[in-house]
Copies of this chain bind each other. A is one copy, B any other.
Amino acid sequence: MRKRRDAVVAFQGETGAYSEIAARRFFGRETRLLPCESFELVFKSVQSGVVGFGVVPIENSLAGSIHQNYDLLLKHRLHIVGELNLRVVHNLIANAGVALADIQRIYSHPQALMQCQNTTARLKGTKIIPAYDTAGSVKKIKEEKLLDAAAIASDLAAEIYGMKILKRKIQDNPENFTRFLILKKTTVPPSDANKTSIVFSVRNLPGALFRSLSVFALRDIDLYKIESRPLHGKPWEYFFYIDFAGSVKDRNCRNAMTHLGETASFLKLLGSYRRDVSKK
């Protein structure tokens, strides 16, 4: 999959976004990319066949899940065919000739701003301004030739827009990773798949969630993650998203899903794919 150079890959954000770094790492530096304004547009571009793949963030190790993308996985009929953990390294970026002492405003995505509070708090008197995205903030201070402003973004964003990095690695917590999903319009899992994602809902009965999880525990299938999202129209009922060890190609996992289907009121396979255990 990583070698398929002919496929275009969609991601959300401006050129230089962390999603672009993830896409290039997964598919190779020379991959042709389609920047999209919204996550929904990434899903739609893959669904309609405009692009071959989509890359979306699903979870950050500090900020938690990107819930909108969980909802979009349910709404669209795409499959997860891969994942990638990306170490997030934030930098303070400005126009050439601008010094740290000149900075009076700092622009970035609210998540990035939150993850660099220690650094920004030390820059006394600077105004923190939430923006649409990280790379877009770099683009903005470049285009508007702002000489009293900086942006927080990736080193790729600094490189692409020809901007200066004032300070490197400014995030408060170095254990900052974002997990990205690779989406495709297919139902065939990769042959090396060892992780599976599903979404289901349960009948509103006592112990229903426990019984659902038992189909994995009774087969010694390890769970990596559980996430709940509201079920619209039924206040305080939920969809459960579960990531577990194994592929739908394994008999054990197929049995667990058949078993789960006996009690679930809804069950959808989101995909089997290769688990990324790297920390890069």
Q: Chain B residues near A177 (CB, 8 Å)?
A: 235
Q: Chain B residues near A234 (CB, 8 Å)?
A: 175
A211-254 vs B, CB cutoff 8 Å, 1 = contact: the mask equals 10110110010111111111011111010000000000000000
- Contact indicator A64/B233 (Cβ below 8 Å): no
**In the complex, A206 Cα to B232 Cα: how many Å?**
32
Is A61 interfacial (CB-CB < 8 Å)? yes
Which residue of the partner chain, among B64, B223, B224, B229, contacts A229 with CB atoms under 8 Å? Answer: B64
**In the complex, A209 Cα to B67 Cα: how many Å?**
21
Is A62 interfacial (CB-CB < 8 Å)? yes
Q: Chain B residues near A173 (CB, 8 Å)?
A: 232-233
Which residue of the partner chain, among B59, B217, B228, B279, contacts A227 with CB atoms under 8 Å? Answer: B228
- Contact indicator A64/B67 (Cβ below 8 Å): yes
- Contact indicator B213/A225 (Cβ below 8 Å): no
- Contact indicator A225/B228 (Cβ below 8 Å): yes
Nearest chain B CB to A155's CB is how many angstroms away? 21
- Contact indicator B64/A232 (Cβ below 8 Å): no
Interface residues of A in 168-210 (CB under 8 A from B): 173, 175, 177, 179, 206-207, 209-210
Interface size class of A (residues with CB under 8 A): 35 or more
**In the complex, A279 Cα to B235 Cα: how many Å?**
10
**In the complex, A279 Cα to B234 Cα: how many Å?**
12
Q: Which residue of B lies closest to A172 (CB)?
A: B232
Nearest chain B CB to A273's CB is how many angstroms away? 15
Q: Chain B residues near A209 (CB, 8 Å)?
A: 213, 223, 226
- Contact indicator B230/A225 (Cβ below 8 Å): no
Indicate whether A228 sits within 8 Å of B230 (C-beta atoms), given known contacts A175-B235, A206-B220. Answer: no
Is A100 interfacial (CB-CB < 8 Å)? no
Q: Which residue of B lies closest to A216 (CB)?
A: B210
**In the complex, A104 Cα to B61 Cα: how many Å?**
40
Q: Chain B residues near A224 (CB, 8 Å)?
A: 236
Indicate whether A226 sits within 8 Å of B228 (C-beta atoms), given known contacts A210-B213, A234-B175. Answer: yes
A43-83 vs B, CB cutoff 8 Å, 1 = contact: the mask equals 00000000000000001111110010000000000000000
Given A64-B67, A207-B223, 18 more contacts at CB 8 Å?
A59-B230, A61-B230, A61-B232, A61-B235, A62-B230, A175-B233, A175-B234, A206-B222, A207-B217, A209-B213, A210-B210, A210-B213, A211-B217, A224-B236, A225-B236, A225-B238, A227-B228, A228-B228
